[in-house]
Every structure is written in structure tokens, then in C-alpha cells.
Structure 1
Amino acid sequence: MNLAEAIISKNVEKHAIKSAIGFNKKGETWKELSWKKFGDIVFKTANALKNIGIQENDKVAIYSDNSSEWMIFDLASLSLGAISVPIYSTNNGEQAEYIINDSNAKVILVGNQYQYDSCLEIIKKGNTQLHTIIVSKKAVWINKELNSFYLEDFIAKASSKLDICKKEYDDIATLIYTSGTTGTPKGVMLTHGNFLNAFEAHFEFFPFEKFEEELSLAFLPLSHVFERSWSLFCLYGGARVYFLEDPKDIVKTLSEVKPTMMCAVPRFFQKVYAGVLQKAEEGSPVKKKIFDWALEIGWKVAELKRNEKVIPFSLRLKNSVADMLVFSKIKERLGGRLWFLPCGGASLSPEVTRFFDSVGIHITVGYGLTETTATLTLFPLTHFEHGSSGQPLPGVEVRIGENDEIQVKGNSIMKGYYNKMEETQKVFTEDGWFKTGDAGKFDDKGNLIITDRIKDLMKTSNGKYIAPQQIENILTNNNYIQQIVLIAEGRQFVSALIVPNFEFLHDFITKNNISFTNWEETVKNEKIIKLYKEKINELQSHLAEFEKVKKFTLMPSEFDINTGEITPTLKVKRNVVLKKYENIIEKMY
């Protein structure tokens, strides 16, 4: 079955007047489209694409921030049997050009002036495949003589009646180019069946009640497999999805939209966690005592819930008081209604998941890759294990192969890399298992525990193996540390490049009357270095001696997407950073 048909046709018939999506244009209030209107716009867009020659298996690219238009264009392309190709909105023109050329995209949707200008330049350079640029916002200037159209005008005269292209489960739905912490991006071929099987596996795994009444906020980039799969899954199940265009507005948006569900990356939860603890530490002794008492009560309740045990009346009563005094204020900052929060992209320490569970917000930690249509394993609603990555979804097989590599099989595994047969063969074993490149193990209850990326494992000159992600995760749980990169390969001890959380550091400087000229000078200040030494020593006190950071350098600015130091999903490109700051690193040794 066609993925778009499974989402649109089913829900238009079942929930015609119910809200499907929400969006917010600059300076306006949030608006919604019913399933009937949403379906009409998707089909009008599909027919408009058909009118300019887009056929089955043609590539249609999307180079834009999150928006309702993003999802409409995606589902319209799929309705025609075309193959959608998302491009990160933060990609520069050169990166976008590579994906457009490699995929042979014929039409592209863009969201802002830079994206439009970049695509116009690609056409001027002589790209003969890309023939039409569609722009979602009329604030963008376009050259109408060069096949450029505003989306609103593009679909104005198109019909809303469409015979959706029939598709088999094995037919390609999308090419998602890996952001790539190393090497050249590769187009991951995911099929209609990959998505539909993954969706059904989730509904089999979770006993959702009245799923169509849920509201999800699309906060992460739709160009990434995690948010895209999650948002499509929500729409598939009849839930509403609101689209946040600028992730910097997340705090304000949470209070406006009040979502019940939202997928997020570990850094989001780490910042909330560290912020709450910091505020508690700065409060009066009485407030700190109440906070600690509330967390203790919340933890007892969370543990009983996790193990499906009865909560005594007296404990329920105490938890109600804890909620009124402490937890409700934390939950209100997140909109007040969040209860289901899938988390992926990197590991999340058990201290953070335990904290949120104690507060009454469940984080569903999972593990997966672009090549596996996102989720492979995840926390069930009960009997999960903090510190693990949960259990395999129905239809997913997981084994531990050579070098402790996690290998998987199942109907959500990609068809391969587009036009890269040799690269595809490298990531599959002879007996057909996909090699994830991650190292892991199972605990005695069948929960998967990720130890690290195999390529990231470091060996010191003393022969000790360091798993950097785990240590970096522990250190970034602190509010004063925004980003960190460990160095240990072939070295006698572990060192680190640390990007401070400049907002919190500025508060510290102000409170301690430290003179400020610029960050280059401030990060060299002896008092600041002393602060970070104390923080790091405290955070890593439980680590083995050989794992501890012995020396570090504070960086005067954040690692940046535009300079290629981090991916659009905020993962540090370790090789790029190590090469760029080679001189700084050598000084630590």
C-alpha cells in the first residue's frame, strides 16, 4: 500500500472534520486544518506536480525548515508514487547541490531566500534535471522566468481529486541522505513497507488508548528520519501534529500548543534536567529540602508504576502534595500535558530518565538509525530498565556480532544506499544482517545496552579502551557544559575540548564580579578554569581513573553546523573537530 494513502485516505474517511495539522505563520495565532482540508491540499499539490510532468519514481526534493507545507509536499509526492528527498534546512548551498545532483531531483520545495538562491544557482550552473523551484513563503523573492512558483499559486487551479498511485511494500518512498559524522552523505532508500511495518510494530508494542486524541509537536527537523517517522506515525494513527518552524521558539511554543507527545534528542532533556537542579541548588534551604523530599516520593511512585505494583494510599497522597509543590511547576514549563516523549539520536544517562519519571513525565528511550527507519529498540511503558535502550520492536531481530557490533534484521531495514552497491554490500553480512556500526550488549532481561560507536572507541597508549559517548554524556548533564569532545586515541591520558554553556557562565561571572571583555579572554581566566575543574572532578568522581579527563581546554565559541563541526542533528563530527583544533589538543599533551 502507498504510505500516503494509508495516512490520508483512511483518516479523511474516518475523521473528516477533526483537526489533522496545526501551524503558525509569523505574528499570527496557531491555526489548524481538518483532515478533509488537509487531504484536499495534499491532492491539489500532487496534481500540480503531475501537471508539470512529475511521474512515478521521479525524485522531488524538500529544502526547508519545518512547516505544514513541508509535510503537504512530502505526502503529495508520495501520493504520485514519486520519491521524496529531504535536505536539512541548515545545509549550505554546496551540500544541497550534492544531494540534488546525486538524487537527480526534478522539483524542489524551498522555505527561505538563501535556499531559493542556492537552488537557482544550481540551475544556472547547468543542472538539467532540476527544472522547477516551488517556494512555500511569499516573503521570498523569486525569478518567475526561471520556473519558480509560490506554492499557493502553484496549486491554485489544480484539482483536489486524485487516484493515488498504487505501491508495493518494497517500492522506494524516500531517499534520506545521512548527515554523516564521517565521509560523504549516502542516500538511504526507505520503502513504503519500511514505514508502514514500523508504524504497525509501534502500535503492537504500545497499548495506546484513544491515540487519535493525542497532539504531537514537530520540533526536531523533519528532514531527519526520527522526526519524520514520528510525525508520519502520529498522522497515520489519526493524531494531530503541529509544526514548529523555528526550534528556538520551543519554550514559548510548548506553553501555547500544550502537546501530549513530542520526540526529542538527549540534549533537550539534559538542559531541562540541569536547569531544574541548578534552580533548586540556588533556592533557600527550606525549598531545597522540599525539592529533595518531592523527588524521593516521586521516585518511589515511579518505581512502583514501572514494575506495575500497587501504590499505597499514603504514598499517593504524598505524591499529590509533591506534585502540587514541585512537579506541577516543572511540567507546566513543558506545556503541562506531555506524557509520552520518545528520545533518540544518542545515549541518555539513567539519572535524567529517573528524574523525569519521578516528576511524572515518561521518556521513552530508543535506539535506531536512518537505515532502520528510526526505531529498532525502545522502552516499553512498564518494566523498562533505566540506562538501557529498551527492547526490540515486534518484527525486529537483534544480535551481537563480531567486536560486539549490534546487527539487525527486520522489515524496517533499508533497501540499500542509492546508486552505491559497494557501500550497501559493506554494511550487510553474508547472511543478510545489517551492521549498525554500534557496539552493544544485552542485559539478563533482554534489554539492549549501547556501549559506543565502534569507530569512536579509543585506545590509550596504556592499552585501555575509552567509550567517549558515555563519558561525554555524563559531563554534558551539567548546566555549565554545552558541548564536549574527548581525546584519548594513542594518548597517555584523556583530555577534552569543552564548550561552556555561555548563558550560565555569564551568570556566574556577574555574580562573582569577574570582569568580562570577550569570551576568548574569559575562558582563560583562572577563576573560570578553577570552576570547570571542580565541576568536572565532581561529575566524573565515579569513573575509573583511566577514564577521567585529566586536562581540558575551554573553547570561546560553540561548535557550528556552518563550519562542518557538527551535523544538523547536533552530533559532533569528531574527525573534523580533532583536525581543526589539532594545535590546541597538542598543547594539552
Structure 2
Amino acid sequence: MNLAEAIINKNVAKHPIKSAIGFKKKEGWKELSWKKFGEMIFKTANALKNAGIEENDKVAIYSDNSSEWMIFDLAAISIGAVTVPIYSTNNAEQAEYIINDSQSKIILVGDQAQYDACLEVLHKEESTLQTIIVSKKAVWIKKEFNSFYLEDFIAKASSKLEFCKKEYEDVATLIYTSGTTGTPKGVMLTHGNFIKAFDAHFEFFKFKNFEEELSLAFLPLSHVFERCWSLLCLYGGARVYFLEDPKNIAKALEEVKPTMMCAVPRFFQKVYAGVLEKANEGSSLKKKIFNWALETGKQTGELRQHENPVPFGLKLKESVAEMLVFNKIKEKMGGRLWFLPCGGASLSPEVTRFFESVGIHVTVGYGLTETTATLTLFPLTNFEHATSGKPLPGVEIRIGENDEIQAKGNGIMKGYYNKPEETQKVFTEDGWFKTGDAGKIDDAGNLIITDRIKDLMKTSNGKYIAPQQIENLLTNNNYISQIVLIAEGRQFVSALIVPNFEFLGDYIKKNNIPFTNWEELVKKEEIIHLYKDKINELQHDLSDYEKVKKFTLMPAEFDINTGEITPTLKVKRNVVLKKYADIIEKMY
């Protein structure tokens, strides 16, 4: 079955006037009903057909999150075309590579820089790009070069459509891996990959009244995680609101009041560290109340986690903790969030325990672009902190050579587009997908990620270091925003540390430390001593060989635009190590 048909027909027929999607217009949030949402998809699909797009043609999207993004995506899939998302943060060169490699014919862009980059590609003889569609009227376009505003592009198209018939194994999208190493590869995901993965999630969680849920899409839709989650929500009849600028997440949470939302570890770490910091700044009475509430929440959370009844006395305590502490934390996140899938990297158990204590279920999961996002995840109950949960129905996991996690199942990609040799490399002879991650399976069947096989470091003393776990431990503190560990072939562990400049700014105001810029500040002795104390405190329980012995404070955050981090905020270790080689050498 066609993925778009599976989402649209069922929901338009079931509840045509119910809201399907939401988006910000000026200062307010607007919604489209399922009927209107379906009509917009059909008009866009027919406009694409009128522009010469045929089955299996590639249609690219190079834009920030928006309702137009999702409409264009489902419109392309409706007519049997293949959607090719491009990160809005990709530069012109990266976008050009994906357009040319995928042989995309039409592209939707969101802003002026994206339009200008695509116009250059359009002018090149070797390019397959024929037409540029622009979602915003604020962008200045050259109409003589096959450029159209989306509103004009679809204006005369019919709002009736017959879906292109598709088999489960037919390709629905090419998602280019952002790749912490190497050239991006187009991952071919099929209609069946999505539909079977969605069905598996609903079987796994057995949600009640899912159609009443509201999700806020703030991670990039061009990433497999947000795209799959948002499509899953729509598949199940829930509402999805699209946030264009993720920097506005705090305000959007209070305005939209979502019940569900997928997020990356950094989001949870920031909330966790912020709450702890605020509690520590309070009076001794407030600290006592906070710690008592957290302990109460931990007790009730653990009982519910293992489906044990909560005694009446403890329930009373919980309601007091809720009133005095937890409601205030939850209100900052809109007040209604209860279910938060987390992926992209590992998350410390103290963070998941904290959210569970507060009454928000963070369902930690594990997966890749090549596996249609999820392979394993926490169930609603009977999960274990410090693991990545259990396999979805229809997914098999085994541990291969070098402790590598290998997988089979509904979500495994068809292969890399036009790269048969690369495809062959990531599959075993007996057909298992090789994830490139190291892990183990506990007695209860939970997957535990130990690290990226490529990221495991061996010191000159022969000791193995798993950097992600240590980096997570240190970034759970509010004074540290980003960190990269260095240990491979070295006699001890060192680190490049990016301070959380917001918290550091508060600290220097309180302590009257004069400075002219961040570059000067991170070299000041009192700041270096502050971070030494913080790091020593945080890594107290680590083995001596795992501890950071030396570090350098960086004057600016690692940046997406310079290729130092991926759009989901994972550090590209090889890029950072190469770029800052001189600074690293000075620490040794």
C-alpha cells in the first residue's frame, strides 16, 4: 500500500473536521482539518504531476520545518515519486551534492539562501533539477528560471486524486545520512518500511485514545527520527504542530502544550541540569522540599515502572510533591507532556529516572536512518534504565563480531541509492544489517549500547575508553554544553569543552569577573579552576584511566555550518579532532 494513502484516506474518512496539523502564522497558531490537509496534499500532488513528475522521480525538500514540508512530502509519495529531504542547515555545496546524486527534478525551498543555492544548481548543465518551488512569499524569486511560489504552483490543480498503487518493497524516500564520517549516502526506505514500523509501534505500546494526542515537531523533519515520529502520529490520527525555528522551543511548548514530542538527549540534559541548578540556588527549606519530592517521585515511579500498586500513603505524598514541585517543572514544558521518545545518542539513567519521577515517560530508543529509526525502545512499563529497551515486534537483534549490534526486520533499508558495494559492506552474508555500534543484550532481553565501534578509543596503556558514556556524564552538568574526549593512542584522556555560556554568564556576573569576550574569559585562571572543580566532582566514580586529566575550554560552540556537528547535534569527532589538532597537541 502507498504510505500517503495509509495516512490520508483513513483519517479523512474517519474524522474530516478534526484538526490534523498546526503551524505558526505571525503571532498565532493555525490548524488545518484532516479534510483540508488532504485537499492540500492532493492539489500539490496534481501540481507535481502537471509539472511532469512521474512515478519514481525524485522530489527534494530543502527547508526548515513547516506544514508545507509535510504536505509536499506526502504529495510526492501519493503519486509514487520519491521524497529526498535535505537538512535546512546544509550549505549550498552539500545541497548540490544531494540534488545531483539523487537526480532530483523538483525542489521545495524555504528561505532566500536555500533558493539562491538551488538557482545556481538549476543553471548548471549537468544538473537534473528543473523547477524550484518556494514556500514563502517573502523570498525573492526569478520567475523566468522555472521558479514558483507554492501557492501559485498549486493554484489551478485539482483537489481530487487517485493514489499511485505501491508495493511494500517500493522506495518512498531517500534519506541522506548526515554522517559523522565520510560522504553522505542515500538510504532507500520503502513504503513497507514505514507502514510496518508504525504498526509495530502501536502493537508495542497499545496506546489508548491516541487520536487525542498532540505532538510538537521541533527536530528537523529531514532527519529520520522526527520524520518517522511525525508520520507515525499522523498515521494514528493524532495532531502534529510544526515548529520552524527550534530555538523557539521553550515558548512553543508553553503555547502549544503538546502531550507527546520526540527529542534528542541534549534537550533532556538541559532541562535536567536547569532544574537541579535552580533547586541548588534555593533556600535550604526549598532544597529539602525538592529532594523529598524527587525521592517520593522515584518511589512511585519505580512501583509503576514494574506495574506494582502504589500504597495509599505514598499516593498522598505524591499528590503533595506534584503540587509543590512537579507541576512547576511540567508547566515550563507546557504542562501536558507525558510521552517523549528519545534517540540520536545515549542518555544517562539519572536523567531518565528524574523524568520518570516527575511523571514524564522518556522512552529511550535505538536505531539508525538505515533501520527506519527504531529498532529497540523502552515500553511504557517493565523497562530498565541504562538500557535502550527491547526490540519492536518484527525486529530481531543479535550481537556479532567485536560486540557489533546486528539487526533484521521490517525497518531495514532496501540499500544505499546507486551504491551496491557500500550496501554489501553493511550486510552480513546471512542478511543481517551491521549497525557499526557495539552492545550487549541483558538477561531480560534489553539492548545495552556500549559505544560506536569506530569511536572506541584505546590509550597508549592499552585501556579501552567508551567516550559517549563519559561525555554524557559531563554534559549532564549545566556548565558544560558540548564535549569531545581525546584518548586514542594517548597516555591519558583529555577533552575539548564548550561551556554553557548562558550559565557561565550568570556566574561571572555574580562573581564580578571582568572580561571583554568569551575567548579571553575561557583562558582566565578562575574560570579554568571552576571547570576543574566541576569535572573532578562529576567524574568522581570513574576509573582513574577514564578520567579527564587535561582540558581546553573552547570560546564558541561547535557549529552545524562548519561541519563540526550534525543537524541532530552529534559531534563529528573526526572533523573536530582534525580542526583543533594544534590545541589537542598542546595538552600532551
- On whether the aligned pair clears a TM of 0.5, the verdict is yes
Please state if 1:179 is matched with 2:178.
yes
**1:260-409 equivalences in 2 (<5 Å):** 260-409=259-408
1:163 paired residue number? 162
Please state if 1:67 is matched with 2:75.
no
1:13 paired residue number? 13
Amino acid at match of 2:492: F
Q: Distance in 2 between matches of 1:15 and 1:414?
A: 33
Q: Distance in 1 between matches of 2:61 and 2:255?
A: 27
2:446 paired residue number? 447
Q: Distance in 2 between matches of 1:222 and 1:15?
A: 25
Q: Distance in 1 between matches of 2:125 and 2:287?
A: 65
CA deviation map 1:34-86 (0-9, x unaligned) = 00000000000000000010000000000000000000000000000000000
Amino acid at match of 2:375: L
2:99 paired residue number? 100
Following superposition, the deviation at residue 495 of structure 1 comes to 0.2
Following superposition, the deviation at residue 28 of structure 1 comes to 3.1
Following superposition, the deviation at residue 11 of structure 1 comes to 0.7
Secondary structure at 2:381 match in 1: coil
Secondary structure at 2:28 match in 1: coil
Q: Distance in 1 between matches of 2:388 and 2:489?
A: 30
Secondary structure at 1:263 match in 2: coil
Q: Distance in 1 between matches of 2:436 and 2:587?
A: 30
Answer yes or no: is the 8 Å Cα contact 2:106–2:130 preserved in 1.
yes
Following superposition, the deviation at residue 181 of structure 1 comes to 0.3
Q: Distance in 1 between matches of 2:126 and 2:329?
A: 52
Please state if 1:500 is matched with 2:535.
no
Amino acid at match of 2:86: I
Query: Structure 1: 5+ residue runs without aligned partners?
Result: none
1:561 paired residue number? 560
CA deviation map 1:155-201 (0-9, x unaligned) = 01100011100000000000000001000000000000000000000
**1:488-527 equivalences in 2 (<5 Å):** 488-527=487-526
Secondary structure at 1:482 match in 2: strand
Q: Distance in 2 between matches of 1:308 and 1:328?
A: 23
Q: Distance in 2 between matches of 1:77 and 1:207?
A: 31
Secondary structure at 2:516 match in 1: coil
2:224 paired residue number? 225
2:426 paired residue number? 427
**1:209-220 equivalences in 2 (<5 Å):** 209-220=208-219
Report the aligned-residue RMSD: 0.5
1:253 paired residue number? 252
Q: Which moved more, 1:513-522 or 1:122-131?
A: 122-131
1:24 paired residue number? 24
Following superposition, the deviation at residue 126 of structure 1 comes to 2.2
Following superposition, the deviation at residue 125 of structure 1 comes to 2.3
Secondary structure at 1:126 match in 2: coil
Q: TM-score, with normalisation over the residues of structure 2?
A: 1.00
Secondary structure at 2:12 match in 1: helix
Query: Structure 2: 5+ residue runs without aligned partners?
Result: none
Answer yes or no: is the 8 Å Cα contact 2:173–2:188 preserved in 1.
yes
Q: Distance in 2 between matches of 1:475 and 1:121?
A: 43
Amino acid at match of 2:272: Y
Q: Judging changes above 3 Å, is the alpha-carbon distance between structure 1 residues 546 and 128 closer, same or farther for their aligned structure 2 residues?
A: closer
Q: Distance in 2 between matches of 1:448 and 1:143?
A: 53
Answer yes or no: is the 8 Å Cα contact 2:219–2:263 preserved in 1.
yes
Q: TM-score, with normalisation over the residues of structure 1?
A: 0.99
Amino acid at match of 1:570: L
Amino acid at match of 1:181: T
Following superposition, the deviation at residue 127 of structure 1 comes to 4.0
CA deviation map 1:188-222 (0-9, x unaligned) = 00000000000000010002001111000001000
Secondary structure at 1:30 match in 2: strand
Please state if 1:48 is matched with 2:47.
yes
Q: Judging changes above 3 Å, is the alpha-carbon distance between structure 1 residues 506 and 106 closer, same or farther for their aligned structure 2 residues?
A: same
Amino acid at match of 1:19: S
Amino acid at match of 1:295: L
Amino acid at match of 2:99: I
Following superposition, the deviation at residue 333 of structure 1 comes to 0.3
Q: Distance in 1 between matches of 2:561 and 2:438?
A: 30
- Runs of 4+ residues deviating >3 angstroms: none
Following superposition, the deviation at residue 128 of structure 1 comes to 4.0
Amino acid at match of 1:146: F
Q: Judging changes above 3 Å, is the alpha-carbon distance between structure 1 residues 101 and 305 closer, same or farther for their aligned structure 2 residues?
A: same
Q: Distance in 2 between matches of 1:530 and 1:568?
A: 32
**1:565-584 equivalences in 2 (<5 Å):** 565-584=564-583
Amino acid at match of 1:418: Y
CA deviation map 1:340-379 (0-9, x unaligned) = 1000000000000000000111100000000000000000
Amino acid at match of 1:130: L
Secondary structure at 2:472 match in 1: helix
Answer yes or no: is the 8 Å Cα contact 2:100–2:127 preserved in 1.
no
Following superposition, the deviation at residue 461 of structure 1 comes to 0.3
Q: Distance in 2 between matches of 1:480 and 1:172?
A: 45
Q: Distance in 2 between matches of 1:369 and 1:30?
A: 32
Amino acid at match of 1:2: N
Q: Distance in 1 between matches of 2:236 and 2:152?
A: 31
Amino acid at match of 1:414: M
Amino acid at match of 1:10: K
Secondary structure at 2:397 match in 1: strand
Q: Distance in 1 between matches of 2:209 and 2:358?
A: 24
Q: Distance in 2 between matches of 1:216 and 1:568?
A: 20
Secondary structure at 2:443 match in 1: coil
Between the aligned residues of both structures, percent identity stands at: 82
CA deviation map 1:17-42 (0-9, x unaligned) = 110000112x2310100000000000
